[in-house]
Structure 1
Amino acid sequence: MGEVLDGVAVLRWSRLTAEALGRARAEIDALNVFPVPDGDTGTNLYLTVIAAADALDELPDGEPPDSARIWRALAQGALLGARGNSGVILSQVFRGLADVLGPLEGPPDGTAFAGALAHASGLAREAVERPVEGTILSVLAAAAAACGAESSGTGLAGVTRAAAAGARRALGRTTGQLDVLARSGVVDAGAAGLCVVLDVLAAVVTEEYPERYEVPPRAAPPRTAGAPPAEEHPGPQGPGYEVMYLLDAPDEAVHVLRERLDGLGDSLVVVGGDGLWNVHVHVDDAGAAIEAGMAAGRPHRIRVTYLDAGERPHAPHTGRAVIAVTAAGGLAALFEECGARVVRRESGTVPPLAVLADAILAAGDEVAVLPNEPEVLALAEAAAERARDSGARIAVVPTKASVQGMAALAVHDPLRRFGEDVIEMTRAAGATRFGHLEVAEQEAVTSVGLCRPGDVLGLIEGDVVTIGADVAEVARHLLNRMLSGGGELVTLIAGVHAPPALAGALEDHLRGDHPDVEVGVYDGGQERYPLLIGVE
């Protein structure tokens, strides 16, 4: 058949691209020296395309869905699963193609595809705060230009071949466009991955499949006569952490977010729209980058990667320790009474990553970390990764609430083997449902209806399940919901703004309606939440 880019062809392209990048990712990783030599560009591109292909596989069975749905699913899957700087940019390529080709009534011709690739190139460049030549952006622009030059009177096969060939020619030029590439004797890794993507596309359209898709080998860096050999990598320069997250935020908030993140670091790429964004940035202060997202909207799927900048850390102390992160003084005292070392954070913020990493390093050579907030979890993983370079054994117990952290500490046993101790702490945390009360500050739509400023919200594991005007009434309803599936121990942690008689009233309620449940009441001193609840 050939020369068709319909829904079936897009499905084939996504699957074959994932396979090709899977085979080539180690070679692409070896080229990765810009923007930081962390050797993961091929892997990130592969994982991004896998996410896009998986999104297509999740479309309903039966008759093949229309091309518009397939293009949308491809772009959305890549957006949600994008990894790394190049992966986020590649998601924009898919989005640009989807914008133009998805609405067409039939398969695109050469002219339509050329226009779509030009649109994709423009979107990708706009997404990068400070574009650099000699990268995937340059190669994408060259592919679009070659495509456009070929599109007049040429079919789809000729245009896709031109795009792939133009990208390959531009790839060879990247070495001379960036000093860091020239010093290492490599082409740009992200651009090499894009060439594989376009090569596979041309193969699918023409039905001419090569035995393999070439990745340029890494050459020896050029040397000046008499000069000593250059280091493989002179050591990473610039920010030490890659921060990525999905962000639910209104479009108008993203401009301010871009400005704030641009002032914090580099390699800033923000893509998306219609309230959902994928944010990528390299920074020294990962916590500040996450807080910027919290100020703009709701960040989730947060990932923080230590880029191995600077000297390797070392762990000066030995022994077993548990570190708990909290903002509240009362909770800090509770954790310390249970034997944990506490890292304090300001209410509504996350702790500085460097502070958390230093605390882990100072704690011992076997350390369990209790983040106690979803936003802190990714930071804790990055801090742990950094600390592991010292040779210490670090485990992050995925506690998303302080009551889960307390449950984990309750079963902590320093006499057990470290791995077994972490498993038991993780089990205890996972067996603890958590809820809390908070007071709405603005009007919003929740899963149970509209809330207005001053309304009391009852949440279970982050989801609003009840809204009311009275703190005690909402708390009783929340407890009943949380105990509907059973429970042996209820933990109540009162905050600064809890009514004085709240804890006692809830104890009376539990004795009357749930007499078999053990109750523990504590003063947490937290500012934001009048009440924290745990059910084990």
Structure 2
Amino acid sequence: MVDVLDSIDAAALRRWAYRCVDALTARCDEIDALNVFPIPDSDTGTNLMFTLRAAVESMRAAGPDADARTVGRALAVGAVAGARGNSGVIVSQLLRAVAEAAADGPLDTVSIQAMLRRARVLVADAVSVPVEGTMLTVLAAADREASAHDANVALSALVVDIAEATARAVDSTTDQLVDLREAGVVDAGALGLSVIVDALVEVVIGRTPPRRRYRRPREPERQAGTDVSTPTSECGGAPATSGYAAGRPLGYEVVYVVHGPNDATAAELRRALADLGDSVVVAGDGSGAWSAHVHTTDPGGAVDRGIAAGDVRGVRISCFGTVEFAESSVPGARGGGAVSVGRDILALVAGDGAADLYVQEGATVVRCDEAIDSSVLHRVIVGMKHREVLVLPNGALSAQELVAVGAAARADGKDVVMLPCTAMVQGLAALAVHDAARAAVDDAFTMSEAAAGTRWGSLRIAHERSLTWVGMCEPGDSIGLAGQEVVIVAARPLDAGCRLLDQLLATGGEMVTVLVGAQASQDFGAQLAEYVTGAHPGVDVVVYAGGQPGDLVQFGVE
């Protein structure tokens, strides 16, 4: 005989957390199968299960003697840090409300009522645009039921009534959202929330309420010529056509935790992510850590917004899938045919001459004369002929964007490696030692070693007055960079170029590659080659017309 509880202490909170994990695990496949909104990616049950597991691991770390306040706090911190998907982030706010309610000790009727009111506020603040027929609807029904009870009602009666109201709200979701009605299902996240509430009932009264099992009806066969529905956006339910057209990736789910923002900064992050995609949720744990979630076609941009807001950790990027497209349909891509047996080399290149060099060496080129979106690189990687793809980024995208693209491409089944090339001259050096007969890992290592062994610099014209490490530069001055650092400021381009070559060759070198840009004079490359021959005997020099914008010239020293 199990005693009916009149309050929920630390031990009961722990039992509830464990029971949530067990119940969600048992019904994970059922919940996943119902997942059609906002993206039919069949992972809501999985996301909820992993989120609660993260909360439990945090709770266990707090120790077996922790009080209700500490247990509640640990559950909230763990849930926010380990939140998976839109549903997981929302549940993390329920647990944050539990933590706040348990701050004064064990939970009673009044505490549960306050907890649900607070959870509803936290979730409303976290979700960019609420939609009826989702977890938010069910949470609102639970709050209304709790608020309708007198404060003196027994805890057992309260939680049972809340669970019944929650179950009724789950059933009602089918008719509240077009996607659900067309599929003939209830909302997956709403069902998951009901399972969590039922777990609380079991802890309080010792038995689980009897519930029906849900299954997704067999989808009718589509007749020839029938249009396939476009995925909808959770931010208002309007069709999310941008980034989901045929021939393009269906987009990504990006989740990470950012530490440090205050409420105002978190709100700014929420707005910034809403500009990039939909299903935006930014939810905090109450101590400066925030879980961010967005569906977007620009995962790198989503991560960058988080980095601007604070210290980003635990980035997870999942691709919803792709639709096949012809490589020729990708803007800016030029193929050199099948570059190797079983492996492709892909390079980001600026300038007509530089692009020709790379294509002649067997690479597929994506032009980056102007700023390039990371989604373009992803589309090309996915459309490459072979599974193995080695990418020469050549400094066109940030490290964060490359990490995001790499993760997304691997999720799409590509074995992709981003080689550490920060300039086109380094990429050419890497391409020169490429050997398709080697294993991919060995080929990538050899190419990376060649790139790393190539010292590089560039010559540019200053467009504004600026203070550099070597003094002030004025508009029109010639500035020489060794890597990313300004080391030369001179009035004339030739003087700056010769002095930069001296610095790059100061520690030795056998060959200099000169890649001349579009803004350089016609004989500029020949003048630089003549200087190398006279000032550095024994050093070979080769000059190419790269045609790249921005840099007057790029130097590579091997």
Same structural fold, with TM-score higher than 0.5 when normalized by the shorter chain: yes
* Match in the other structure for 2:290: 277
Asked if the contact 1:110/1:155 (under 8 Å) is kept, the reply is: yes
Where structure 1 has 5 or more consecutive residues not aligned to the other structure, the ranges are: 389-393, 434-453, 457-468, 471-492, 508-524, 528-536
Q: Deviations over 1:380-424 (max 9, x none)?
A: 2213434x4xxxxx2134778969x999989975224xxx53488
* Match in the other structure for 2:8: 5
Map of 1:243-392 to 2, 5 A cutoff? Answer: 243-251=254-262, 252-272=264-284, 274-308=287-321, 311-313=323-325, 318=338, 319=340, 320-323=343-346, 352-369=373-390, 373-386=399-412, 388=413
Map of 1:208-227 to 2, 5 A cutoff? Answer: 208-209=207-208, 214-219=212-217
Distance 1:247 1:399 in 2: 27
Shift of the alpha carbon at 1:158?
1.9
Distance 1:358 1:220, change over 3 A: closer
Distance 2:430 2:164 in 1: 57
2:231 partner SS: coil
Asked if the contact 1:398/1:426 (under 8 Å) is kept, the reply is: no
Distance 1:313 1:109, change over 3 A: same
Shift of the alpha carbon at 1:355?
1.0
Distance 1:402 1:278 in 2: 32
Shift of the alpha carbon at 1:23?
1.8
Identity among equivalent positions (%) equals 35
* TM-score, with length taken from structure 2: 0.66
2:66 partner SS: coil
Distance 1:293 1:365 in 2: 33
1:68 to 2:81 alignment: no
Distance 2:127 2:137 in 1: 12
Shift of the alpha carbon at 1:175?
0.7
* Match in the other structure for 1:181: 180
* TM-score, with length taken from structure 1: 0.68
2:403 partner SS: helix
* Match in the other structure for 2:229: 234
Shift of the alpha carbon at 1:307?
2.1
* Match in the other structure for 1:414: 436
Which stretch of structure 1 is more off in the superposition, 314-323 or 191-200?
314-323
1:81 to 2:82 alignment: yes
Map of 1:468-479 to 2, 5 A cutoff? Answer: none
Distance 2:15 2:254 in 1: 32
* Match in the other structure for 1:99: 100
Shift of the alpha carbon at 1:302?
2.5
Asked if the contact 1:92/1:120 (under 8 Å) is kept, the reply is: yes
1:270 partner SS: strand
1:243 aligned partner, one-letter code:
V
* Match in the other structure for 1:445: none
1:497 partner SS: strand
* Match in the other structure for 1:396: 416
* Match in the other structure for 2:148: 149
Query: Which residue of the other structure, out of 29, 33, 40, is the alignment partner of 2:32?
Result: 29
Paired residues, number: 439
Asked if the contact 1:129/1:267 (under 8 Å) is kept, the reply is: yes
1:150 partner SS: coil
Where structure 2 has 5 or more consecutive residues not aligned to the other structure, the ranges are: 233-239, 244-249, 329-336, 453-466, 472-481, 489-499, 509-547, 551-558
1:186 partner SS: coil
Distance 1:429 1:164 in 2: 58
Distance 1:249 1:201 in 2: 33
Distance 1:120 1:46, change over 3 A: same
Distance 1:341 1:301, change over 3 A: farther
Shift of the alpha carbon at 1:426?
7.8
Asked if the contact 1:164/1:198 (under 8 Å) is kept, the reply is: yes
Asked if the contact 2:276/2:296 (under 8 Å) is kept, the reply is: yes
Distance 1:58 1:327 in 2: 52
Distance 1:163 1:230 in 2: 47
Shift of the alpha carbon at 1:314?
5.7
* Match in the other structure for 1:519: none
Distance 1:274 1:339, change over 3 A: farther
1:263 aligned partner, one-letter code:
D
2:303 aligned partner, one-letter code:
I
Distance 2:147 2:26 in 1: 30
Distance 1:139 1:156, change over 3 A: same
Map of 1:438-477 to 2, 5 A cutoff? Answer: none
Instruction: Compute the RMSD of aligned alpha carbons.
Output: 4.6
Query: Greater Rg, structure 1 or structure 2?
Result: 2
* Match in the other structure for 1:480: none
Distance 2:468 2:157 in 1: 62
Asked if the contact 2:41/2:320 (under 8 Å) is kept, the reply is: yes
Distance 1:204 1:410 in 2: 67
